[in-house]
Amino acid sequence: MNFVSEALNLSKFSTERLEERGILRIAFVKHPFFSDVVDAVRIEKKFGIYEEGTVIVKGKDRLRVFRGFPKIKRILYLESGLKKHFGSTKIALEEKMNGYNVRIGKIGDEIYAITRRGLICPYTTEKAREKIPKDFFEEYPEHMLCCEALGKASPYVPDYYGIEGLEFFLFDIRESKTNKALSIHEKEEIAERYDLRMVNILLKTSAEDIENIKRVLEELNDKSREGVVFKDLEMNLPPLKYTTSFSNCGDLSYAFKNFEEYGRDFMLARIVREAFQTFEFQDNIDNRAYRLGKAILDSAVESIKKVKEGKEVTEELNLTFSSEEVLELFKMHLKLLGITFREIERKKRNDKIEAKFERVMRATTDKIKSLLEGNPW
């Protein structure tokens, strides 16, 4: 762990303490596919300036620190929330896309993809090597591309966009060691020049322009999109986020399908968001009530039905790999994450390998079973 002390400028004693307290964890599965990485640890819980998900890498050429992607605060009431935070500063409304957070950087000779909690993911890395031009890192060796990864072949989040495979949508470019973000203007210029897909910028305005801001959110909701991240154009202030009713209800639907796997807090927060939005947008409360009720009941009833028919509540994953090697490595990676999937099918198609995984929602299945047998809650 000497490389951690050196990279973070900590005494050997402090590093040992962090290790003992379980804050430093292994960040990857050792494998030839990760041949540029000699060692890598991640920070499990924010400490000092270092965000959760920060990764410290002993690369074959040099030490690297990839800071965790900062938490984005949410506002529930737009009118006062935006003014209070941004004042009269110019802001951009960026589309908030619903996938999973990936930081892409170059270690040694290759591209690596790190997920939110700070693990180097083999599957995402394989896709990033196919999609991200390496020459960006020749110009910006100290930077990382912060992207939302999404599509039908996403292992972690279902697809809402009808996108084949897995795509990366750039939303921030940050210096990996300091987490300092480039301005929105610089980001747009780079995305254009390197032909990187970027999240949509829906509007540039200021907090007073509340009517137009609300209109953008209504349009997003009509298109079944997740929401918006508000950022000042210079990227000096922390951003804020806000989600559509579609997203709040979608989360609730998912949470009630698997109600024992999802915490009470998760559900309550989304219902309260919906209440504030109903109040602020002043639209038809009956429609909203119906939509919210449907989201909760339909999915929960579907799970009850499934268990009654003797089946289990499950999630299915369809992934495409370019080699058996990465597929096997990904399975080890899931074990490291503590997620239990079983592989139920493997097919060769063209030169790719298609695999179907199934995750059983054990807690929800058992709970429903017990309740259907007449046991008390």
**Site for ligand ATP contains 156 (CB under 6 A):** no
27 phi/psi in degrees, rounded to 5: -110, 0
**Site for ligand ATP contains 69 (CB under 6 A):** yes
Of 85 and 96, nearer to ligand ATP (C-beta) is: 96
Interface with ligand ATP (CB under 6 A), residue from 14, 101, 278, 322: 101
**Site for ligand ATP contains 344 (CB under 6 A):** no
Q: How many residues does the chain have?
A: 377
Alpha-carbon distance of 196 to 213, in angstroms, equals 26
Of 58 and 96, nearer to ligand ATP (C-beta) is: 96
Minimum CB distance to ligand ATP, residue 6 (Å): 29
The contacts found for 251-256 with CB under 8 angstroms, 24 or more apart, are 252/292, 252/295, 252/296, 253/295, 253/296, 253/298, 253/299, 254/299, 256/295, 256/296, 256/297, 256/299, 256/300, 256/303
Residues with Cβ within 8 Å of 23's Cβ and at least 6 positions away in sequence, in order, are 43, 44, 45, 47
Closest CA to 59 of 15, 109, 10, 125: 109
Residue nearest to ligand ATP as judged by C-beta position:
101
Interface with ligand ATP (CB under 6 A), residue from 60, 71, 204, 362: 71
Interface with ligand ATP (CB under 6 A), residue from 41, 59, 82, 94: 94
**Site for ligand ATP contains 229 (CB under 6 A):** yes
Minimum CB distance to ligand ATP, residue 150 (Å): 9
Of 59 and 81, nearer to ligand ATP (C-beta) is: 81
**Site for ligand ATP contains 241 (CB under 6 A):** yes
The DSSP bridge pattern shows strands 110-115 and 227-232 to be unpaired
Pick the piece of the chain touching ligand ATP (CB under 6 A) from 94-102, 121-129, 181-189, 309-317. Answer: 94-102
Interface ranges with ligand ATP (CB under 6 A): 69, 71-72, 94-97, 101, 148, 171, 199, 229, 241
